[in-house]
Structure 1
Amino acid sequence: MSENKNNKNSSQEQPTVAYTDDNIRHLSDMEHVRTRPGMYIGRLGDGSLPEDGVYVLLKEVIDNSIDEFKMHAGDRIEVDIIDNLSVSVRDYGRGIPQGKLVEAVSVLNTGGKYDSKAFKKSVGLNGVGVKAVNALSSRFEVKSYRDGTVRCLVFEKGVLKEDHTEETQDENGTYIFFRPDDTLFKNYSFHDEFVETMLRNYTYLNSGLTIMYNGRRIKSRNGLEDLLVDNMTVDPLYPIVHIKGEDIEIAFTHTNQYGEEYHSFVNGQHTTQGGTHQSAFKEHIAKTIKEFFDKNYEYTDIRNGIVAAIAINVEEPVFESQTKIKLGSTLMEPGGETINKYVGDFIKREVDNYLHIHKEDVADVLENKIKESERERKAMAGVTKLARERAKKANLHNRKLRDCRIHFCDVRDDRKEESSIFITEGDSASGSITKSRDVNTQAVFSLRGKPLNCFGLSKKVVYENEEFNLLQAALNIEDGLDDLRYNKVIVATDADVDGMHIRLLVITFFLQFYPELIKKGHVYVLQTPLFRVRNRRSKIKNKQVIANADAKLLKNEKKSDFITRYCYTEQERLDAIRDLGPDPEITRFKGLGEISPDEFAHFIGPDIRLEQVTLHKNDQVQKLLEYYMGKNTMERQNFIIDNLVIEEDKPEGEETNVDDGE
């Protein structure tokens, strides 16, 4: 009671902070973007992930050029990435009106797309995108070529530095150069594979458009059909069904892979999280196929193995965020019919006709696939029911899962993109992560030793194997990815042979039964340091090394007596020894459980290093899995023997003062 009283008195003694007119500030448009970048582009990031902000900046610039193409003004766009740090985009459209060029690139809520007659079905209607690029770039240049003159502007961090107009012989259009501000995008770089995927998606949706990317030509002749062909990692069971209509295009087929795979687009924007148009497609494709066969097939059996894409054009689309990755619109146009009805009517009419015309080569093959899925589902109905009951009980008190508070399926939570789950091996490793994690956004799932090698097994094993079933339940992916609970599924294993084996077994599980989880970019491998190299401050002569280390410790009350480097590669270890010598103390981390929670916080915090698991058509996944995870033991053994490299021991004294940990 006296303690409460003391606390009360203490709080009463706290001085009241003055709140006056001086506390009220007005930010300019550019200042506001720089102060609150997350409102405009989502996360910042360093370019190592496809959703990082540097790609949003690129997308915002290209979207404007795509809108010009849609208005039949220019069929060529040139995109160049210079030194993986700077970007230039040149289109051959009409060029931004020169009289309003400054306002068009630096004043929010200013643009030419509010008049639906000029840009009826555009991605960006709010006059924000290119202004955000300007504000968040250390250098931003724009040139508008119109009828023999070009007006050139140069900005630095949103502040106008140069403005001049001159005559030119160049074609009409717009040129934009920008270099993201490295004080905001720390250590960023553009990754070629992410940029190329983005550009290819643009060409799939805009037949006739040519994009020159660093001198390479990207073009699609068959639209969404090309998209499916380029992205499928297994062969289709029947020729891709590809149908176009006014403001809608669909393509689909079935494969022998488990689950469902969708690619959806609105006005050229890749809606990676789907939305109302994707939901409408899923509902009506199953309903139409069921009615065509006039049999009581389950929707899940009809859609099992489907690979599909849908693209629609909507007037004044509404997205769930500025990054435009999920469509929220319910109407095709203000006051018009619903997206669900529009998509449903189109699918009912066109797909039904297509199946009647292509009965032998499509409809019959499709029905065989549905029957096969139905047989498998019924064969494991009993074990599925028991497994669900077991998982339901486990969810009430699942000792394998240390959950977090924010989940990816929480529609209205601003931090849902940060939600992640670490899949660890054993209680030792999970203990270190659990104690150092962010309980709001980071969950932990602990495996019990090595999981089962599920390659070549049917999905029945997911329900028979308790560990797989609990993992499936934790991720909430039994019925697809619509309600996935974590944006990042991170495999966190030791950096040794056993850890690598466990990593392969977990990834094999996802590839075998939930390939869409990997294709949608949700699966990652946690990179943890192999070495800790440290030395006392008194021994370090390079003052810059000390200054750099101190900069990271500004928030700490007491500076460490040591300067410490965590090294993820052998080269980083050598660099650290050079910087921190002489005679540094070197610790080789043998397992995650050996790293203290205090240290582990560094590796799963803001500076976390993740390697995304990707899946592409040319990966030949089935052959790789069959070779590495199949039963050809002798073939693998001979390969290992033939390619074994034996390293000679290093001379003594080359590595000094090796410490096995404290």
Structure 2
Amino acid sequence: MAKTKTEYTEDSIRSLDWREHIRLRPGMYIGKLGDGSGQDDGIYVLVKEIIDNSIDEHMMGNGNVIDISISDNKVEVRDYGRGIPLGKVIDCVSKINTGGKYDSGAFQKSVGLNGVGTKAVNALSSYFRVQSIRDGRTKVAEFEKGVLINDHKETKCDQKNGTLMSFIPDDTIFKHFRFIPEYLEDQLWNYAFLNAGLTINYNGKKYYSQNGLLDLLKRKTDEESLRYPIIHLKGHDIEIALTHANQYGEEYYSFVNGQYTTQGGTHLAALKEAVVKTVREFFKKDFDASDIRASIVGAIAVRVQEPVFESQTKTKLGSINAGPDGPAIRTWVNEFVKKELDNYLHKNSAVADALLKRILQSERERKDIAGIKKLANERAKKANLHNKKLRDCRFHFDELNNEKRHDSTLFITEGDSASGSITKSRNVELQAVFSLRGKPLNCFGLTKKIVYENEEFNLLQHALNIEDGLENLRYNRIVIATDADVDGMHIRLLMLTFFLQFFPDLVRNGHLFILETPLFRVRNKKETIYCYSEEEKRAAIKKLGGKPEITRFKGLGEISPDEFGAFIGEDIRLEPILLQKETSIQKLLNYYMGKNTPERQQFIIENLKVEKDLVESDEKDALRKEASVMEI
């Protein structure tokens, strides 16, 4: 049968208006979509785009308070800047390439330069409202999915100058979305750290910082584990904070004009290079760069005119100059670090001594595992030719020009039956599967040497490509997929221990998740409902009525591939692994994975419930509900 050719005529050419283009290709404007389970999901980018405008106002000296409220998926941001000129309120939120940031006199060193951000939020929201208050008068406009629905007339107003924007993300684009408070708090703290003197009020909580990046590192680290006090260096348009901890890997936070550049860029590369060069010159010894940077925790913030980012989401800084007539940013950062860090080390000999000890310790550890590392890498290369544990996918997170990269996922499963179900139902373009053989080793308290000695850990490390850091991570989401029984929970804990012990930055950067799978299937001849809790099961039984068939899933292998496809597709439920500010990884692992401490024994005794207790509890709840209904 001959192939039918598609005709290419004048009718094939389409012109999309700004709203249609954003909604058709949202990834070009906000990166990945997601449901809010990842910290770089689109709904957080929408929040950021609106707040960025208020931050730029603050940077220009207009307003030092921003009020934010988020409830029932509705976001409201109120600043006290100059307010949008009333005659341009609608244009500023609905016409591409319209804004005040093209005028470098009105906005210097701002993040939003191309006038796209607010328009993207407008187009991708089921409801969007903008209000500007300016010199005793106000103007309001309302939109639905970018379409103007209410153009209110200018009226008198006695409120303070500024702008109020509110929106509800469109749930046809951000399916089943939810805001995770911890992600929002991290986002807002970053704004506070980078803007000394700015107060952000969010849902009744105040975010404020006096010491910038010094406060950021204090929040991100366990001060007890630091090898020396945080070094804090400030200059004109540049700020740096750094220290060394006892963790594995490197950990960095980089910012440009208040924008968190999660993928780094030229400024971060320059910082890494400059620290190595300065330390070598200070100690007059040619240390290996990896020994100097091992266990480092650092942050850099720069402010430059007309920054060039590698995408609209502004997560990576391109190659630019520090100013219109200034040096290349790499030279600028190098010169600043060389002068200021060298001066600091000369003035603080105790810090210099502690730094030297940390470098020498890293050198010993590196040499200690050099032999086994070489052998393990050779084995891993051979295994990669035919790695039975890994069923790979086509697209990966390290393919920077691929818009599908954010959805690349690796499922870590237990046993052949579970991995078989996922393998048969997965999306082969974006979902890979790594199969564990039984329970992995409890690696708590062991050195990184075990990662190379243990074949399973070594193969997993190579599958993820994280041996030398996260720069070349192959999957954006690493999902632990285990049964919801005691053995499955234990395997889950053992894998969490592995990542927290040796690759904590993988967890801190929001790449690790737990797959939630249904516990029950409730169905009749007309409808099937999958339930993830007892409460959902009771609701399903009530909805279907009669006596529906109830199936309890004890393991992933019991779920057929056809059914499994629904649980790892668009409706996938992922629970992110989050590290709280007050969480000490060492204390956390010691409590759960160390020797049986009295504290843990007491916790188990106090919280132990047998199945009879759980059944009785459910029955009591049901009886209470029946009694309350009868009383009514």
State the TM-score, normalized to the length of structure 1. Answer: 0.89
Question: Which sits farther off after the overlay, 618-627 or 506-515?
Answer: 618-627
Of 227, 233, 245, which aligns to 1:255? 245
Query: Do the aligned residues in 1 keep the contact of 2:27 with 2:403 (CA within 8 Å)?
Result: no
Query: Do the aligned residues in 1 keep the contact of 2:391 with 2:432 (CA within 8 Å)?
Result: yes
**How many Å separate the matches in 2 of 1:389 and 1:49?**
34
Query: Do the aligned residues in 2 keep the contact of 1:240 with 1:252 (CA within 8 Å)?
Result: yes
Superposed, 1:450-469 pairs within 5 Å as 450-469=439-458
How far apart are 1:504 and its partner, in Å? 0.4
Superposed, 1:8-87 pairs within 5 Å as 10-12=1-3, 14=4, 20-81=9-70, 83-87=71-75
How far apart are 1:170 and its partner, in Å? 2.0
Query: Do the aligned residues in 2 keep the contact of 1:271 with 1:324 (CA within 8 Å)?
Result: yes
Other-structure match for 2:627:
none
The SS at the match of 2:216 is helix
Other-structure match for 1:499:
488
1:104 aligns with 2:92: yes
Other-structure match for 1:139:
127
Does the C-alpha gap of structure 1 residues 637 and 27 become closer, same or farther in structure 2, counting only changes over 3 Å? same
Other-structure match for 2:231:
241
Q: Name the amino acid aligned to 1:441.
A: L
1:121 aligns with 2:85: no
How far apart are 1:324 and its partner, in Å? 1.5
The SS at the match of 1:315 is coil
How far apart are 1:368 and its partner, in Å? 0.5
**How many Å separate the matches in 2 of 1:481 and 1:355?**
29
Of 560, 580, 583, which aligns to 1:596? 560
1:440 aligns with 2:429: yes
**How many Å separate the matches in 1 of 2:425 and 2:204?**
47
How far apart are 1:417 and its partner, in Å? 0.8
**How many Å separate the matches in 2 of 1:23 and 1:374?**
63
**How many Å separate the matches in 2 of 1:126 and 1:165?**
27
How far apart are 1:97 and its partner, in Å? 1.6
Other-structure match for 1:570:
534
Other-structure match for 1:583:
547
Q: What do residues 267-310 of structure 1 show as CA deviations (whole Å, max 9, x unaligned)?
A: 10111121221111112112211211111211111111111101
Where does structure 1 differ by over 6 angstroms across 4 or more consecutive aligned residues? none
**How many Å separate the matches in 1 of 2:176 and 2:247?**
39
Does the C-alpha gap of structure 1 residues 338 and 645 become closer, same or farther in structure 2, counting only changes over 3 Å? same
Of 201, 210, 216, which aligns to 2:190? 201
Superposed, 1:527-538 pairs within 5 Å as 527-537=516-526
How far apart are 1:19 and its partner, in Å? 5.1
Does the C-alpha gap of structure 1 residues 573 and 634 become closer, same or farther in structure 2, counting only changes over 3 Å? same
How far apart are 1:148 and its partner, in Å? 1.9
How far apart are 1:647 and its partner, in Å? 3.4
Q: What do residues 89-129 of structure 1 show as CA deviations (whole Å, max 9, x unaligned)?
A: 11111111222222111100111111222222111100101
Of 289, 292, 295, which aligns to 1:299? 289
Of 301, 309, 316, which aligns to 2:306? 316
Of 265, 269, 272, which aligns to 1:282? 272
Query: Do the aligned residues in 2 keep the contact of 1:264 with 1:310 (CA within 8 Å)?
Result: yes
Query: Do the aligned residues in 1 keep the contact of 2:176 with 2:571 (CA within 8 Å)?
Result: no
Query: Do the aligned residues in 2 keep the contact of 1:228 with 1:309 (CA within 8 Å)?
Result: yes
Other-structure match for 2:596:
632
Query: Do the aligned residues in 2 keep the contact of 1:528 with 1:568 (CA within 8 Å)?
Result: yes
1:644 aligns with 2:608: yes
RMSD between aligned residues: 1.8
Other-structure match for 1:657:
none
Superposed, 1:330-369 pairs within 5 Å as 330-333=320-323, 336-360=326-350, 362-369=351-358
Unaligned runs of 5+ in 2: 620-632
Query: Do the aligned residues in 1 keep the contact of 2:510 with 2:576 (CA within 8 Å)?
Result: yes
How far apart are 1:528 and its partner, in Å? 0.9
Q: Name the amino acid aligned to 1:304.
A: A
How far apart are 1:23 and its partner, in Å? 4.2
**How many Å separate the matches in 2 of 1:572 and 1:407?**
35
Q: What do residues 618-649 of structure 1 show as CA deviations (whole Å, max 9, x unaligned)?
A: 12332221121112267645643454222328
Q: Name the amino acid aligned to 1:51.
A: D
How far apart are 1:184 and its partner, in Å? 2.7
**How many Å separate the matches in 1 of 2:13 and 2:413?**
48
**How many Å separate the matches in 2 of 1:346 and 1:279?**
14
How far apart are 1:32 and its partner, in Å? 2.3
Between the aligned residues of both structures, percent identity stands at 63
Q: Name the amino acid aligned to 1:114.
A: Y
How far apart are 1:198 and its partner, in Å? 0.9
Q: What do residues 536-591 of structure 1 show as CA deviations (whole Å, max 9, x unaligned)?
A: 02xxxxxxxxxxxxxxxxxxxxxxxxx21111111111111122232211211111
Q: What do residues 367-422 of structure 1 show as CA deviations (whole Å, max 9, x unaligned)?
A: 01111111111122211111111112112221111111111111211111111111
State the TM-score, normalized to the length of structure 2. Answer: 0.94
**How many Å separate the matches in 2 of 1:234 and 1:210?**
25
**How many Å separate the matches in 2 of 1:46 and 1:398?**
32
Q: Name the amino acid aligned to 2:512.
A: V
Q: What do residues 19-49 of structure 1 show as CA deviations (whole Å, max 9, x unaligned)?
A: 5544433322223222322222223333333
Query: Do the aligned residues in 1 keep the contact of 2:130 with 2:166 (CA within 8 Å)?
Result: yes
State how many pairs are aligned. 614
**How many Å separate the matches in 2 of 1:644 and 1:171?**
56
Q: What do residues 334-384 of structure 1 show as CA deviations (whole Å, max 9, x unaligned)?
A: 564222111111111111111111112x10001011111111111222111
Other-structure match for 2:169:
180
Unaligned runs of 5+ in 1: 1-9, 538-562, 655-662
Question: Which sits farther off after the overlay, 71-80 or 130-139?
Answer: 130-139
